Structures are given as C-alpha cells and as structure tokens.
Structure 1
Amino acid sequence: MFAPFLIMLREGLEAALIIGILCGYLTRTGRRALLPAIWSGILLALSLALLTGAVLIWLDASFPQKAQELLEAGIGIVAYVFLITMVLWMRKFGRSVKSDLQHQMDAAFSSGTTWSLVLLSFAAVAREGLESVFFLLAIFQQSAGWQAPIGALLGIVLAIGVGWLIHRGALHVNLGKFFHWTSIFIVLIAAGIAASVPRALHEAGIWNHLQQPIWNLSGTLPESSLFGTILSGFFGYRETLVLGELLVYLVALLIPLAWLLRPVKSATEARHVRP
C-alpha cells in the first residue's frame, strides 16, 4: 500500500504543480480566456493514460501464461526506467521547470493558435500519466488485493489537496527536500520492481540462470505479514529470493542511488538546460 501511495503522491504533486504553473501564468498575463485550451490538453493526457492502462490490462488478461509473464517483465523494465529517469531528471532540472514552462508558453502565444497550448499541456501531463500507469501496473502485478489500489487513490487525493493548497498560498512546503527524500524511497521501490523482472522471465522460460536460492523466509517472515509488507513496500523485500534477483536488485539500487546522492549542480548551470 505504501509504494503506490508514495508514487502517486509524488506523481500527482508534480502534475498539480505543472498545471498550477500553466494556469497561473495565463492568469497573471491576462489570458484567462485561454484556460480551456490548457484543460483540454490535460483531459486528452488523462484519456491517453487511462486508455493505455486499459489496453495493457486487456493484453495481460488475453495472453497465454508465457506471454503474460513476458508482458509483466516488459512493464517492469519500462516502470523502472521511468522511475529512475524521473527522479534523476527532477534532481538535475527541477529548479528550472517553472521558467522552462513559461518560455514554452510564450512560444505558444507567438504561434497565434490555441492548439499549441493544448499540445503543451498535453505533453506536460501525459508524461506524468503514462509514468503512473506503468508504475501502478508493475506494483499491482506484485501486490494482489485491495491495498495497492487504495494506496494509489489516497496518494492521488492527497496530491490534489496539497497542490491546491500550495497554489492558493495556504500551505508552504519545502519541495526541494520533499522531492529529495521521496526520490530516495522511489529508488528503493524501483529496485524492487527491477528485481521482479528476472523472476517473470524465469517463469516464462526465457531466463534460467543464477537460480541458486539465497533465502526462503516464507515460514519466518512472509510478505503477507505486517513487517513483511512494510519491508516489501520500502525495500522490495521478497520472502523467497534467488541469486539473479539479488544481483539485479543491488545493481538497480546502488547505481542510481550513488548518482542521486552526488552534489547538485548550481542553479545557473541547470537553468540553461531544457527537459
């Protein structure tokens, strides 16, 4: 439950901030009449995310077992890449997001067509929506039951509320620290998702190497227990683990974590780089 909650809180807050920047800039520059173009792009982006999720769920249900395992492995790889790209990009370029979006809106104004604003808001929100779809599918494949969807829903609701309060000036949050600490937790979650890929490939009969057991704690610390659930949500814990999964987990964790904890470049350097 914690993993989807944290991811959707993070993704939802990013999307809320982007929407707030776009709408706020139109309001401050006296272009409130163009707000429907922003909302049209947002609705198109949400529709694309929902359609993508529905198609992937349908494919997973209609494929034979081997194809389902391959699809789950593919979703896990895409989710991991999206997660790591998101946290590393936000760490490096997050400070210049506001100015970059405003420059892009100025360019859209100069084109003289509202379609440019529709495409801008669509592109900005579609990235967050598609990332969320792959994250949630990868997590739902590992966590059966109602807890994961409820956690995701709570994360979205809280993100919307926090984003609205920040936009209204009623809540002040140190977003730098928020994104830094959530990035560390998300890297842990992403490593757990990456470690599930070898297992899916093994069940599909594609990967049969490095299957030496490391531990089997199903009788001592099952994932269904309270502590097992907490460890699974934070660190990608599995009650049974083989060598290949452990190696993938360590590589997927340590490399991005080392990069994430490196000193941040100066704001002047980041300002000249566009996402």
Structure 2
Amino acid sequence: MFANYLIGLREGLEAALVVGILVAYLVKTGRRDLLPWIWLGVGIAVAISIGFGALLTYGPRGLSFEAQEALGGTLSIIAVAFVTWMIFWMARTARGLKGELESRMGVAAEGGAVALVLLAVLAVGREGLETALFLWAAAQATGDTTQPLIGAVLGLISAVVLGVLIYRGAVKLNMAKFFTYTGAILVVIAGGVLSYGIHDLQEAGVLPGINNVAFDVSAQIPPSSWYATLLKGTVNFNPTTTWLQLIAWVLYVFPVLYLFFRTVRKPMSAAPTAPAGESNTTTNQPQIVGGP
C-alpha cells in the first residue's frame, strides 16, 4: 500500500500545485470570472483518468491468458517509461514550473474559455493518466486491486490537503527535496514493475527464459508471509526471479538512479528578471521549489 500511497501523493501533489498556480495567477490578475473554466478542465481530466483506469481494469478480462499476460506486460513497461519520463521532467523543470505555467495561462486567458479548459485538462490529465496506468501496473504485479486503490486514494487525499495548505501559505515544503526523495523511491518501485512486466511477457511466450531462474528464495521468504507481502507491495519483489527479470531490473534501476541524481544536482540557470513594473514577490501562491 505504501508504494501506491507514494504514487498518489506525488502525482496528486504535482497536479495540486499546477492547479494552485493557475488559480493564483487568475486571482492575481483580477480574472476570477475565468476560474470556473479551470475547474471544468480539472473535472474533465479527473473523469478521463478514472475512465482510463476502469478500462485498464475491466477491459482485458475477455482475452485469453496469453493475451492478458502480453497486454499486461506491455502496459507495465509503458507505465515504467511514463513514470521515468515524469521523474526526470520534474527534476529538470520544477524550478521554472511556476513561470512556465503562468506564461501559458496568459496566452490561454486571451484565447478564451476553451483554451483555459484545454490547458487545465492537459496539465492535470497528464498526471491522472500516468497515475492510473502506473497504479494498474502495480496492482497487476501484486495481484491485489483493493490495497493499491486504498493507498492511492489516501495519497491523493493527502496531496489535495497539502496543496490547499501550500496555496494558503499555511505549509511550506522543500519541494526540491520532496521530489528528489520520492523520485528516487519511485525509480526502485518502477524497477519492480518493469521486472514484473518482463515476467508477464515471458509467461505469454513473447520473451524467452521463463524457466531460467536466477534465484529462488521462496523457502526463506514464503510468498504467503507478511514480509513477502510487504516486499511485493512496496518494491514488487518476487522470491522467484528469472535471469531476464534480474538483468532488466539491474540495467534499469542503477543507471536511472545515477542519471536522476546527476540531473537533480545539475546547477540551474538563474531565474529571469521580472519585467519592469512587476515584482518577483507574490502572495498566496504555491512555492514550487525550496532550496536543498
């Protein structure tokens, strides 16, 4: 449940911060009349994400076992790719996210209601679709849909509460450290999802080596034990792992962690100077980045 809570918290907080920036910009520029269009876009994005999750959950049930395994393995690998991209995107752009979104908001506001709705749908929907896909992949890996869903919902609720508190200035988080720590943990979790996806493709006959077992510690870590459940629910650890799964995990986790920390520690260029007549200091706006 912890892994899914973390996914819901991180993705939900990203979406909450984005919405907070958009709302704060409209309030600051005296365009409160446009706020309903932002909320409409957010609602559409949430509905699309829920529908996508339902399609993933109930759509493949009419397929054969091999087809289900092939589809599940492919989607798991796609989920890992999306999450990896998201982790690096946030690591690179978090410090300039506020200015980038405000720039887009200014253009959208001039374009009218449809542009604002589209901006909100794209900004929030991306997070929602990534969350739905990764949660589905994690649920497939653990063989349980209830616990991942509960964990994700609790994470999303926590994210919304934190987002509101940050917007109102009641809470200040060091976003640089938050996204660094959660990003590193998600890399390990994604490695487990990748390993499980490889296993699915092996069972479907798409990839070879289903019988080439690298290690089998099921005697020391019984699959029915609480600690095996804990390991599977957090990092998708499988007591019986094939060589292809192990190689894929190693080749993903260690290089991605190295590149991630290198990206995080890379010096950022100085923030642009505010135009004449404008101040860099704003009130009641979510602060995206805190220093290390």
Tell me, yes or no, whether TM beats 0.5: yes
Q: Which residue of 2 aligns with 1:119?
A: 118
Q: 1:235 to 1:50 in 2, by over 3 A?
A: closer
Query: Structure 1: how far apart are the matches of 2:9 and 2:247?
Result: 29
Q: Which residue of 1 aligns with 2:107?
A: 107
Deviations 1:202-230 (A, max 9, x none): 11122123742122222221344333233
Indicate the RMSD between aligned Cα atoms, in angstroms.
1.7
Q: Secondary structure at the match of 2:269?
A: helix
Unaligned 5+ residue runs, structure 2? 273-292
Q: 1:35 to 1:227 in 2, by over 3 A?
A: same
Range with greater deviation from structure 2 (254-263 or 230-239): 230-239
Query: Structure 2: how far apart are the matches of 1:190 and 1:93?
Result: 21
TM-score, normalised to structure 2, is 0.88
What number of residue pairs does the alignment pair up? Answer: 270
Q: Secondary structure at the match of 1:241?
A: strand
1:1-275 matches, cutoff 5 A: 1-111=1-111, 113-145=112-144, 146-209=146-209, 211-262=211-262, 264-268=265-269
Structure 1: 4+ residue segments shifted above 6 A: none
Unaligned 5+ residue runs, structure 1? none
- The letter of the residue matching 1:142 is A
- The letter of the residue matching 2:129 is L
Deviations 1:9-51 (A, max 9, x none): 0000000000100011111110010001101111111111112
Query: Structure 2: how far apart are the matches of 1:211 and 1:247?
Result: 15
Q: Secondary structure at the match of 1:172?
A: coil
Aligned residues of 1:45 and 1:123 also touching (Cα < 8 A): yes
Q: How far did 1:269 drift?
A: 7.1
Query: Structure 2: how far apart are the matches of 1:247 and 1:46?
Result: 37
Deviations 1:78-124 (A, max 9, x none): 1100111011111111111110000001111232x111111111100
Query: Structure 2: how far apart are the matches of 1:67 and 1:210?
Result: 16
Aligned residues of 1:87 and 1:183 also touching (Cα < 8 A): yes
Query: Structure 1: how far apart are the matches of 2:174 and 2:270?
Result: 21
Query: Structure 2: how far apart are the matches of 1:211 and 1:124?
Result: 44
Query: Structure 2: how far apart are the matches of 1:48 and 1:147?
Result: 22
Deviations 1:32-71 (A, max 9, x none): 1000110111111111111212222222212111111111
Q: 1:164 to 1:222 in 2, by over 3 A?
A: farther
Q: Secondary structure at the match of 2:262?
A: coil
Query: Structure 2: how far apart are the matches of 1:58 and 1:186?
Result: 26
Identity of aligned residues (%): 38
Q: Which residue of 1 aligns with 2:280?
A: none
Query: Structure 1: how far apart are the matches of 2:249 and 2:70?
Result: 19
Aligned residues of 2:9 and 2:159 also touching (Cα < 8 A): yes
Deviations 1:153-179 (A, max 9, x none): 111111111111111111111111010
Query: Structure 1: how far apart are the matches of 2:204 and 2:243?
Result: 18
Aligned residues of 1:92 and 1:270 also touching (Cα < 8 A): no
Q: Secondary structure at the match of 1:247?
A: helix
Q: Secondary structure at the match of 2:266?
A: coil
Aligned residues of 1:211 and 1:243 also touching (Cα < 8 A): no
**Bigger helix share:** 1
